[in-house]
Structure 1
């Protein structure tokens, strides 16, 4: 009896400590028609000294800074007796309370009218919340639990969907700030479908499709059946599901034409925002985001770079590994839809064509490594800048760069080692993902060496293609699967003008790329083309007509305006560098049995064979 009493007393004391330390929020929506939410945060057991409260400047899944403090106003602070306290604001997203008691209450209004994975949106149909864009937090109390209660009595059909732990009465719990900030919330009159998945240990978990859209329940149920096929292929890659906290994973899907559009991964959920009228009739359009974000529940959320640990909410984390975290995810996102039968082989080949063109034909890949591309994410990942940058010449998205790297490594493992990229991902999962040990780039190289039993190969691959800027022989690698990499416009002349802008009969150049004929001719952004080869230019068709009349190597005269001054230059046309991937049988070549087997093993379903 003494032992039982002692255990009971310990539990009671633990609950008391929890209650004394948890930071609680109450959220209401009295002016939701004008995109406002009201937040009240209570902070008990406040240490002596200046209390600092702030909004986040970054968000899990994003790699650049976002100034969430700009949408907060009417902030007030009170003590435990309701007395108003002095608040200083040393920065746009920071607040300091110099004098306070043991408990502090902070209230404020937050505006949100941007529906995507990063920001918040409030209107009469729903409350769409990314936590960092919505909730302030006290600095230095990250380990404290969070409790949030949502009040929406006037919205009878609204329901809460979130990975946060439900505590009853529209209250939800997070063990600490990191988990809280990684937990999106959708409150709406949504429709849902769900299904059970069993892990290899026999334990069942539930996957939920939460959809705020103008669709019937039958459409949602049908879409869930499609997602089941996708989920099965993901399981086949990894060999097991992650252990989802509280046994649930949520696809939070918001569909409306005026949405900003996005997909944002979280530990046990993903926020998917689509810009279509509804799901019905657009099912195929939406799948790529679902597949990409779901792959993240392994890769990034648990198989996690050390550079993202812990996530810093005061500025952006610089990461060397986004080429794998995002790029390999990009590669698999489309590939697994093909394996599941939800996309065709031609769809995958089209995606691979884009990857190969980008990595072989852009200056950002020629002169910068995948690691350097990853580090540039702090500026590129939806980061806001009003000044022009040289981004087109110094950066290739780590999504594309990493996906092209994944493609090459997959084909090399298959052709040189009778292994696959699936094997590599499972090895990484076993070493770092499942035990949740944050990895570094050397860890990735070490795992590749162990998998292939060839440290020299792993060292060479990382030295040349990860740390360096060399490129794999994609033509040779693709031919193993019976695909030919060739010039898409062989013998066709190319100016390198890029996507031209036409305004009132004026044809205006975009930023020109290093290595292009336009760049070599000294042409640059905002130049207005007047004549090309003596022909007056008023439309893009005018330029096309001149280009088609010439061949690579021809030199043509160009007159243009630079800051209002007319200038002349000579441009030497090159052969169009665009590449395409074509099935060998469509070129008149022979698809050998070995090529067919290689292709099938790569692109066909893996569900039964693993």
Structure 2
């Protein structure tokens, strides 16, 4: 207790020597107006160099690749020197401030508003404070290497506890080694429930893992769900052969479940932030578990197996990466695969996931015309990026999640059938070469590991040239057949016009851009190559009649298409700003694929096919 009181006393003093001894940068975050979603934050700086002091809010956040204007929710920015004398603060940009004249001690205070619970922003109310640090903390430019202390002085007043990967220093005070670490440390303040366990690592060391859940569930429900998460953790450990060594000795799942949450999962070095729009965990366990499977895999892949393009993370602008097809896409593949290995999903569930990956690369213009690397680069616009004006993403972008997942699926089956090794072996070698030693990688590094693993540099070079840098696609039907699986049309003989209806986009004031309610308004670009595109229909057109029948909405249009066969033609009447027009849609067969087992199709798999399938999809936990 004596040591604790000394630490608190030191943090409370406002002298350069006292504060610098504990931490050159000290934050206090309090919530006197939580009911109205506000926090009051102070940042104390000591040993401030002479000359103008610039400080700012971030514009990007670890795990996100698009920009986010966090400065919009900061106001009442003030500053005093170490003698509490007011200082003049000049706002240089929307999120950048400057103090020209000061001494060696400065305290900056501001109000933060936050009412959006996800992995990127801030959500504050009487029940909790859900903090993503780039959306919470201003920081002094040039002081990013200094250690940081954060104190939450009024958590007991609110009946809250602190869930975070930051290192506890006692009395609701937490430490980070530098700005990079603190910005990577989401924090939940609430009366959450907790389930904890230990995993014995390969080296015999015990790694504590915590599930903290802020939800309307009882402890028994959280405990039962925690046991499910524990099973997934073991399955993922089996892929790499060991857990990472977590900083400060533990890993924390920070879960918030409430109907108004925005669904999200955001990986961090020693924790993950998971927000889920559900009434509670109970009754939704299987659905909620998928985010945990994906995000925990990131504690290896992307947090330690780290692309060089993200090192160090820049908080002032978007962070473009060439490697998200691997960092996110391979993680997407494993997130679904490991749920089946762990027994929470059936093999058929995984087949549906695999079909989705395949459709994304074979049946989209983005997959056909753009490479996995190009898809990764587009993340600066696509990853939770906010756009008022419509984009042409339908035709130029294929998610790096599904793109990379499809590459992973093909590589796994090729390694199994051609080399008698697995994607698990590959991930383990990437881990040893780059993750465990924390040596950031490039795409050529990944290719080199594959060449060494297969002892076939030609195979590795061709695979990366064709399927990562290039536009060629693997023969998924032939690869799946190796496991006694069939790639076939999901809706054979069914007519298809292409997807032409989408949710309404919003104008600059949030108003729906829907001029009237008659007919079917096409609200986004039609997809290249579809019957609707070939017929000249596009976003902004309103279909009022099809096949001689009035069209009121998407359902009435789909009913007409469903009654036709591939090759049939339907005359369409539509209008736009140039007047009323007619066109003809030549319907085609629905190109969507599905994956089914031989057995479901009435075929008998061979012993070798069953052996490959079972080795692929069965548990690896011993």
Short-chain TM bin = over 0.9
Runs of 4+ in 1 over 6 A off after TM superposition: none
- Cα distance in 2 for residues equivalent to 1:156 and 1:276: 24
Structure 2 unaligned spans of 5+: 1-16, 505-515
- In the other structure, the counterpart of 2:94 is 92
1:304 paired residue among 276, 286, 306: 306
User: C-alpha displacement at 1:73, in angstroms?
Assistant: 0.3
2: CA distance, partners of 1:345 / 1:23: 51
Shift of 1:530: 1.9
CA 1:381/1:156 → structure 2, altered by over 3 Å: closer, same or farther? closer
Q: Could you list the per-position Cα deviations for residues 182-222 of structure 1 after superposition, in whole angstroms to 9, with x for gaps in the alignment?
A: 01111111110100111111111100010111111111111
CA–CA distance in structure 2, aligned partners of residues 18 and 236 of structure 1: 44
Cα deviation for residue 595 of structure 1 reads 1.3
CA distance in 2, matches of 1:40, 1:249: 28
- 1:33 has 2:38 as partner: no
In structure 2, how many angstroms separate the alpha carbons of the residues matched to 1:453 and 1:336? 27
Give the Å deviation of 1:578.
0.9
CA shift digits 1:71-92 (9 cap, x unpaired): 0000001111111111111110
Cα separation, 1, equivalents of 2:503 and 2:223 = 44
2:519 corresponds to which residue?
A: 506
Q: Deviations over 1:275-322 (max 9, x none)?
A: 111111111111010011100000011000000000000001110000
Structure 1 residue corresponding to 2:44, chosen from 42, 45, 60: 42
The whole-number CA distance in structure 1 between the counterparts of 2:500 and 2:476 is: 25
Q: 1:242-265 CA distances to partner (integer Å, 9 max, x unpaired)? A: 000111000001111111121111
CA-to-aligned-CA distance 1:544-592 (integer Å, 9 cap, x gap):
3432343323333221001261011122211111111111111111122
Counterpart residue number, 1:111: 113
1:65 maps to 2:67:
yes
User: In structure 2, what is the equivalent of residue 363 of structure 1?
Assistant: 365
Aligned residue number for residue 591 of structure 1: 605
User: Cα offset for 1:17?
Assistant: 9.9
Tell me the TM-score normalised to structure 1 length.
0.95
- TM-score with structure 2 length normalisation? 0.93
Quote the offset at 1:501 in angstroms.
6.4
1:491, distance to aligned residue in structure 2 (A): 2.1
Contact 1:18 1:145 in 2 (8 A): no
1:355-382 Cα offsets, whole Å, 9 max, x none, are 1111100000100000000000000000
Cα deviation per residue 1:81-129 (whole Å; 9 max; x = unaligned)?
A: 1111111111100001111100110000000100000011111111110
Q: Answer whether contact 2:489 2:594 (CA < 8 A) is retained.
A: yes
Counterpart in the other structure of 1:185: 187
| Alpha-carbon distance in structure 2 between the residues aligned to 1:542 and 1:386 | 29
After superposition, residues 347-426 of structure 1 pair within 5 angstroms as 347-426=349-428
Q: Is the 8 A contact 1:500 1:540 kept in 2?
A: no
Query: Counterpart of 2:236?
Result: 234
Q: Is the 8 A contact 2:41 2:110 kept in 1?
A: yes
In structure 1, runs of 5+ residues without a counterpart are 1-14
Aligned length: 594
User: Is the deviation greater in 540-549 or in 482-491?
Assistant: 540-549
| Equivalent residue in structure 2 for 1:224, among 214, 217, 226 | 226
Specify the alignment match of 2:4 in structure 1: none
Question: 2 CA distance for matches of 1:98 and 1:165?
Answer: 34
Return the alpha-carbon distance in structure 1 between the equivalents of residues 253 and 620 of structure 2. 23
Which residue pairs with 1:568 in the alignment? 582
Which stretch has the larger CA shift, 145-154 or 274-283?
A: 145-154
Residues 1:343 and 2:357 aligned together: no
Show the counterpart of 1:120.
122
The alignment partner of 1:78 has SS state of: strand
Q: Which moved more, 1:496-505 or 1:555-564?
A: 496-505
Distance 1:593 1:26, change over 3 A: same
Residue 145 of structure 1: aligned partner = 147
